[in-house]
Amino acid sequence: MLMDAEVIDKKRNPRIMKNNLMKMLFLFSTLIGLVILIVLLSTTLLDGWRYLTLDFFTNFSSSRPSRAGVKGAIIGTLWLMAFTTPIAIFLSVGTALYLEEYAPKNKFTKFVETNIANLAGVPSVVFGLLGLTIFVRQFGLGNSVLAASLTLALMIMPVIVVASQEALRTVPVAVREASIGMGASKWQTVYRIILPAAIPGIITGIILAISRAIGETAPLVVIGIPVALLATPSSPLDSFQALPMQIYNWVKMPQAEFQNLTAAGIIVLLALLMMMNLVAIVIRNKYSKRY
Amino acid sequence: MIMTKEKTSAIHLANKDLESSPTVTQNNEIFIAKNFNLWYGENHALKDINLSFHENEISAIIGPSGCGKSTFIKSLNRMVEMVPGVLTEGEILYRDKNILDKDMSVEELRTKVGMVFQKPNPFPKSIYDNVSYGPRIHGIKDKKTLDLIVEKSLRQAAIWDEVKDRLNDNAYGLSGGQQQRICIARTLAVEPDIVLMDEPTSALDPISTIKIEDLMQELKKEYSIIIVTHNMQQAARVSDKTAFFYQGNVIEFNDTNIIFENPHDKRTEDYVTGRFG
């Protein structure tokens, strides 16, 4: 016998102990993140929940904490997302479809793909500068909803493109062949077979990206979104307030009460986020199909 | 006929003078490959293929793995182009038209030349939506016409009785053999001129295989069939003509009984008697 039974016996316990040790280590990593998250959320909720009054939602921003509210910021953020989302989806899903389904598989396509993936790592403040130079100044859009939406859409585009490409790649070749083999055009195959199968993955990417955009502050600072504005936008060319800017502004204030308002603002932002995620999960489950 | 299929009787007549191969039958030629070559990059996969297939016949293509038989059948509806880096040379005439021409519309070709694949590949949709997919993409919208097409196709594929009460169920709930017959029905729904089958029973159990072989005999009355098969007994059972491919060449093409009982080439004999492959 080449396998020495004595050696195997001797090594068995250390092997199993090592496995348990590693398991504990990984559990520890998970718990650290979880505990910190719970602490953060609970302190925010404790600080802020008492300030979530009706007045808080119906008042504009103010220098007096007792009269400050998030009406302008919520409505502004909703306007911002209402334009960012469709622009981002159109650009990103279009790009992903072109790269995966239509583009010839050559070095140029590969080059474009790599660069789009790299864009995902560019700091958001750089996108802010790009927005300031091109949309705010060059196109003369000023610090409007449209300028900010275009900037944020460009910022989140790489994330959606990469997620959509991954989703498109999971659609089996066999069903593409079946459709193409019956004389369907590329677009018919994409629209009727590939997109319905890829949509859960694409939606996941979109939601991740929008969640990032909704809380993004740096590009808005660079574009010059006002922190004190006593009006809501009535067209995409109007200027607006945004929740993350409002929170950022309050947290800088010296009065202690503003810290509580900050917490309340964060709760509102989180609630918006969770609502969006809920919608996404519903859509995803509706379209979920298995192969 | 529910979908309008162009009658090409003029071409049939013209085809008459082309029939000069030693295995002449009275049926018209539907596909003729003339000095057809194909490369995957550097790899010369098909070499000077000369073959002709006839209407209302079942032609089988046999040969060991990697001999080019799947590549060849996929050339007939140009699905082979989905592989990057494919180069072709020569001609493949489908009813006198060279399908390799730049102005040939692959969408039109694939409507006339249907294909059934190795593994059943239904869409994750209902049985009805699977079978009506083809007519729909070609612009048939009328519900009544679609109903008729679906029923006719499912009957032709010998699966109507098994699924008529659950047309709205997902095709994924069916067995592999049933799925493959749904796929055949889906291909027939477009009313093709010819059906290519790329090892259609290799993923199926023996009973489903027999069902599909019986079905092919029925379909032969209305369609022409070219089948690639790994299974020599299957070729012997179902086909009228058999082509033996080996290392990218057509070694022998003749009536099936001659190929299996009295082959002219030593390599064909070795292969059909199981000495290699």
Residue A193 with chain B: CB contacts under 8 Å = 123
CA distance A235 to A79: 9
For tokens 């496995």, what's the residue?
Answer: A19
- Residue that has been written with the tokens 């990218």 in this structure: B248
pLDDT at A289: 58
Q: Which of B73, B121, B182 to mutate to test the interface with A (most CBs of A within 10 A)?
A: B121
Q: What is the pLDDT of residues A188-215, one digit of tens each?
A: 999 999 999 999 899 989 988 999 999 9
Domains in chain B: boundaries: 9-272
**pLDDT on residue A291:** 52
Residue type, A67: R
**Alpha-carbon span B30 to B196, nearest angstrom:** 12
- pLDDT given for residue B19 in this prediction: 43
d(C-alpha B20, C-alpha A84), whole Å: 68
Mutate to test the interface with A, among B108, B123, B194 (most CBs of A within 10 A): B123
Burial (CB count <10 Å: 0-12, 13-18, 19+), residue B73? buried
pLDDT for B145: 96
Q: Which amino acid makes up residue A34?
A: L
Give the whole-angstrom CA distance, residue B108 versus residue B88: 20
Q: Which of A100, A180, A182 to mutate to test the interface with B (most CBs of B within 10 A)?
A: A182
Q: Are B113 and B193 in contact (CB under 8 A)?
A: yes
Name the pairing type of β-strands B113-116 and B194-198. Answer: parallel
Which residues of A sit within 8 Å Cβ distance of B?
105, 172, 174-175, 177-185, 188, 192-193, 197, 289-291
Matching residue, tokens 């609970």? A42
Second-level CATH architecture of B9-272: 3-Layer(aba) Sandwich (3.40)
* Cα B171 to Cα A167, B116, B125, B168, B200, distances in angstroms: 22, 16, 6, 9, 17
| Cβ–Cβ < 8 Å for A186, A102 | yes
Amino acid A168: pLDDT: 96
Q: For chain B, give the longest Cα–Cα distance.
A: 56
Q: Do B119 and A197 touch (CB under 8 A)?
A: no
Q: Which long-range contacts (CB under 8 A, 24 or more apart) does B211-218 make?
A: B211/B158, B211/B177, B211/B181, B212/B177, B212/B180, B212/B181, B212/B184, B213/B237, B213/B238, B214/B158, B215/B157, B215/B158, B215/B181, B215/B184, B216/B58, B217/B58, B218/B156, B218/B158
**Gap between the terminal Cα atoms of chain B:** 43
Cβ contact B110–A197 (<8 Å): no
What span, in angstroms and rounded, lies between the C-alpha atoms of B4 and B145?
Answer: 12
For residue A72, pLDDT beyond 60: yes
Question: How many angstroms separate the CA atoms of A274 and B57, rounded?
Answer: 63
CB pairs under 8 A between A and B: 66
B27 vs B206, more confident: B206
Q: How confident is the model over A102-146, as pLDDT tens digits?
A: 998 889 999 999 999 999 899 999 999 999 999 999 999 999 999
Hey, which residues does A239 pair with through a beta bridge? Answer: A144
* Average pLDDT rounded to a whole number, residues B3-11: 44
pLDDT at site A277: 85
On the question of pLDDT at B239 being above 50, the answer is yes
Cβ contact B75:B226 at 8 Å: no
Strands in B224-228's sheet, in edge-to-edge order, are B113-116, B194-198, B224-228, B58-62, B241-246, B249-255
Average the pLDDT over A30-39 and give the result: 96
Facing residues of B43 across strands? B40
- What pLDDT sits at residue B18? 45
Residue with tokens 């629209």: A191
Query: What pLDDT is attached to residue B2?
Result: 56
Q: State the average pLDDT for chain B.
A: 88
pLDDT at A105: 84
Arithmetic mean of pLDDT, B68-75:
94
Half-sphere exposure of B46 (CA within 13 A, CB side): 28
Q: How far is CA A44 from CA A39, A40, A262, in A?
A: 8, 6, 9
Q: Which residues of B touch A291 (CB under 8 A)?
A: 124
- Which candidate, A209, A244, A253, places its Cα nearest to that of A93? A209
Tokens of B225: 């069939």
| Tens-place pLDDT, residues B134-186 | 999 999 999 999 999 999 999 999 999 999 999 999 999 999 999 999 999 99
Across the interface, whether the CB atoms of A290 and B137 are under 8 A apart is answered: no
Structure confidence at residue B189 as a pLDDT band (50, 70, 90): very high
B11: pLDDT strictly greater than 50: no
What's the pLDDT at B3? 52
Query: Above 0.90 for ipTM, yes or no?
Result: no
A79-105 pLDDT per residue, tens: 999 999 999 999 999 999 999 999 988
> At residue B1, does pLDDT exceed 70?
no
A183:B186 CB<8 A: no
For the CA atoms of A92, A94, A97, A103, what is the dihedral angle to 10 degrees?
Answer: -110
Query: CA–CA distance from B139 to each of A194, B127, B145, B186 (Å)?
Result: 19, 19, 12, 15
